Amino acid sequence: LARLVGGVAQPPRCAGPAPETRARQGVILLEQLCEAVCPTKPEPEYLLLLNKAPTQEEFIRGAMTKNPYKSTEVGPLMRQVKNYICHSLDMHGLTEDDQGMELLVAGKIVSLDLPVARVYEMVWVPYAAARGASAPDAGHSSSAWAAARRVPSQRSPRSPRGAAAGGGPTGSPMPVTYRLQGLDGEATEPRVDQLEEETQSDQDPEEEFKTTAVLATCGGLDMLLDWLRCTANSVAEGAGGTSVEHAELTTLVLRLLTACCQV
């Protein structure tokens, strides 16, 4: 790490290569430093079974035939799940209408504002655990469920909750029922509009970010502040790299400084 810090030591306005070259080099080296000191946690990936409400076969043409779908392909919010369904079934008029289609998970109507990950962890997981995740809900395709259950998944003890080892799908697939609002009469299912915020890692921050101590012993903190100051000056003077590079440099420096503050 000390050698890596030394490689990043010269901000874009310092002597050496052209400022533009130093800016590009700085982005690359700071990215490497971030991965060593505060690596990015992998984005959890979940499997979704998207199924039409059986009472609306006559009203919704077609079906989502490629179950299970990966949440990373559909989107992070339930609204994006709804829009993905609308696009796939040529129901484009409903993509901008949050009142036209509703989604149900575990027999509950879930708000379109909720993240898929939170719905999976806090709505589907408890429901599946209570039922043993042994069968799909009524109206869900048994063949699609069986195919999804065959997708290998494995949790890593060092991964965040819900994240799979190697970045693969986690747990059993979550059935999501979609239906046009109002066609079946007034909804009687309970609504889920809010969920608790995701709890922070149980790991001690001082233990999690202990590697940042190296920055304090080899001039790394001064180096980061120099990069921040010189990047700000370069932006003000319109020199020393592109606006994208300046933004990347600033983001990386602030990410490292934030990690240092945890110790």
Query: 139 near 53, Cβ under 8 Å?
Result: yes
Reply yes or no: is the peptide bond before residue 19 cis, omega within 30 of 0.
no
pLDDT given at position 82: 96
Helix (H, G, I), strand (E, B) or coil at 174: strand
pLDDT given at position 248: 85
pLDDT along the chain (263 residues), means of 10: 57 53 78 83 88 93 94 94 96 90 96 95 92 52 44 37 44 93 88 79 72 78 82 66 74 87 78
Query: Could you give the angle at the alpha carbon of 132 between the alpha carbons of 129 and 133, nearest 5°?
Result: 90
Cβ-Cβ contacts under 8 Å for 47 (sequence gap 6 or more): 68, 69, 70, 71, 148, 151, 169, 170, 171, 172, 173, 174
Helix (H, G, I), strand (E, B) or coil at 180: strand
Query: In one letter, which amino acid is 156?
Result: S
- List, for residues 34-64, the tens digit of each pLDDT value: 888 888 777 789 999 999 999 999 899 999 9
The whole-angstrom separation of Cα 151 and Cα 238 is 52
Q: Give 148: exposed, middle or buried? Use CB within 10 Å, 0-12, 13-18, 19+.
A: buried
Bridge partners (DSSP) of residue 105 are: 108
